[in-house]
Amino acid sequence: MSQDSLNVAQESRGEFEAVTRPDFAKIRAQFPILQQTENGQPLVYLDSGATSQKPLAVIEALDTYYRQQNANVHRGVYGLSERATELYEGSRETVRQFINAESTREIVFVRGTTEAINLVAHSWARSNMQAGDEIIVTEMEHHSNIVPWQLLRDQLGIHLRVLKINPAGEICLNDLKNMVSEKTKLLAITHMSNALGSINPVKEMTEIAHSVGAKVLVDGAQATPHMAVDVQDIDCDFYALSGHKMYGPTGIGVLYAKEALLEAMPPYQGGGDMIYSVTFDKTEYNVLPYKFEAGTPHIAGAIGLAAAVKFLQSIGLNHIAAYEAELLAYATDRLKQIKGLRMIGEAQHKGGVLSFIIEGVHPHDMATLMDQDGVAVRASHHCAMPVMQYYNVPATVRASLGVYNNRDDIDRLVASIEEAKEMLI
């Protein structure tokens, strides 16, 4: 890649933003849902880890598509279909730039991170693993990066090994170095934990796995809304992301995979658009990435995802990371002043997730009462039950941050916790 091309790619990922800090109050104003009330109180939305709210740019992109551009893609020769195809494939290029993939052939549209991981499990892993081989996951993984490998273990006789975390919610690179061997075929790791906020050193972990010939899959669902991601720099073999976590529509996501791997992998599903020719004797598959996109795709979702990417790029990923780090520090300090509150997950390198419990109070009761104040937080195991088991808690209250949150939201959060605590203890 030339230096000019590299600069363009870096700008698209938010590495060379203007020095001027964005006005995050104006950014917040772009989210219509935040203007409404809940139970008579202004809405404080602190559940972006589950799904983010959508800016006007995304809402309008979806509306425009359905009002003016709706047609099926790839096979139509009339103008409307050709324009829809151009938008759909343009979205693929937008995502390619966003994560710095080498080619659009490496960008497969899927329903989300869960489907992306299952695609790798059913296609790559089934074709490349056998009884006795090992997959390593971390103790902080989302169920979507555990259950597919357990299914494979039960069916193929492979071994699933777990890289432990420490009390702060961090992994140790030396532990991984001691765990990998010639039996290790895949390292499947989260970039940022949805339950703890811990940000893993995925580049260094990838180097360790590659040293024994293993492939690496990174679950980037939580990372992509909060930080610049460069898959070529990480050098991972697979990277999965979800649109709805990064201010885009639900039901759309991306599997990035190195082109050589995708070329060798068999299709995950059969149907229209993933074929080149079909007879009753034989089917020839389409070229990449269409070999893995059977049936009519989520066209509007891809267009909305591209709008979300452009929204993030307009702010700058580095600006977002800096702003959210400041907000996280403020929130952490305020929460630690609450008597009886125990933080769950205090990694040094951490994103905007605040998981906690109040001694003597069930998280569900806490979150239910906080809803009466218009404060939306999640109380659950967060699809990370092994994390809850590690900390010996049934669930946590989780406040997860987005670009639209501010210090007023944190002050409302703290006041609501204190009020609910008085009622419950």
Report the CATH number at residue 275.
Answer: 3.40.640.10
Helix locations, 19-78, DSSP H: 24-28, 56-64
Check if the beta carbon of residue 61 is closer than 8 Å to that of residue 304: yes
Based on the domain organization, do 239 and 254 belong to the same domain?
Answer: yes
Read off φ and ψ for residue 305, nearest 5 degrees: -65, -45
Active-site residue among 56, 383, 393, 415?
383
Based on the domain organization, do 45 and 151 belong to the same domain?
Answer: no
Based on the domain organization, do 261 and 336 belong to the same domain?
Answer: no
Based on the domain organization, do 335 and 399 belong to the same domain?
Answer: yes
Mean pLDDT of 361-379: 97
Q: Would the pTM of this model clear 0.85, i.e. be above it?
A: yes
* Block residue for tokens 């600006």: 319
Of 266, 281, 313, which closes a domain?
313
Q: For residue 276, name the pLDDT band (cuts at 50, 70, 90).
A: confident
Residue 362 covered by a domain = yes
- Counting residues of the chain whose pLDDT is more than 90, the rounded percentage is 91
Based on the domain organization, do 303 and 338 belong to the same domain?
Answer: no
Based on the domain organization, do 130 and 230 belong to the same domain?
Answer: yes
- Give the residues across from 358 on adjacent strands: 341, 361
Residue 18 has pLDDT above 70, yes or no: no
Rounded Cα distance between 158 and 87, Å, is 42
Of 313, 334, 362, which closes a domain?
313
Residue 407 covered by a domain = yes
- pLDDT reported for residue 19: 57
Residue 1 covered by a domain = no
Q: For residue 2, name the pLDDT band (cuts at 50, 70, 90).
A: very low
Rounded Cα distance between 360 and 415, Å, is 18
Residue 16 has pLDDT above 80, yes or no: no
Residue 11 covered by a domain = no
Residue 307 covered by a domain = yes
Rounded Cα distance between 47 and 71, Å, is 34
Residue 125 covered by a domain = yes
- For 32, 327, 328, 375, 408, the CA distances from 411, given in Å and listed in that order, are 22, 11, 12, 11, 5
Q: For residue 6, name the pLDDT band (cuts at 50, 70, 90).
A: very low
Rounded Cα distance between 215 and 227, Å, is 23
Q: Comparing C-alpha atoms, which of 34, 50, 87 is closest to residue 244?
A: 50
Of 313, 342, 362, which closes a domain?
313
Residue 388 covered by a domain = yes
Based on the domain organization, do 119 and 226 belong to the same domain?
Answer: yes
Task: Give tens-digit pLDDT for 330-365.
Answer: 999 999 999 999 999 999 999 999 999 999 999 999
Task: Give tens-digit pLDDT for 61-90.
Answer: 999 999 999 999 998 899 999 999 999 999
Residue 85 covered by a domain = yes
Average pLDDT, the chain: 94
Based on the domain organization, do 42 and 83 belong to the same domain?
Answer: no
- Identify residue 213 by its one-letter amino acid code: G
Mean pLDDT of 209-232: 98
- For 134, 220, 253, 320, the CA distances from 122, given in Å and listed in that order, are 16, 19, 17, 35
**Range(s) of the domain holding residue 303:** 62-313
Looking at the structure of the chain, the number of domains it has is 2
Rounded Cα distance between 384 and 137, Å, is 13
Based on the domain organization, do 288 and 325 belong to the same domain?
Answer: no
Based on the domain organization, do 237 and 320 belong to the same domain?
Answer: no
What is the CATH classification number for the domain harbouring 321?
A: 3.90.1150.10
Based on the domain organization, do 264 and 404 belong to the same domain?
Answer: no
Based on the domain organization, do 136 and 255 belong to the same domain?
Answer: yes
Q: Which of 2-11, 255-264, 385-394 has the lowest mean pLDDT?
A: 2-11
Q: For residue 17, name the pLDDT band (cuts at 50, 70, 90).
A: very low
- Counting residues of the chain whose pLDDT is more than 70, the rounded percentage is 96
Active site residue 172: no
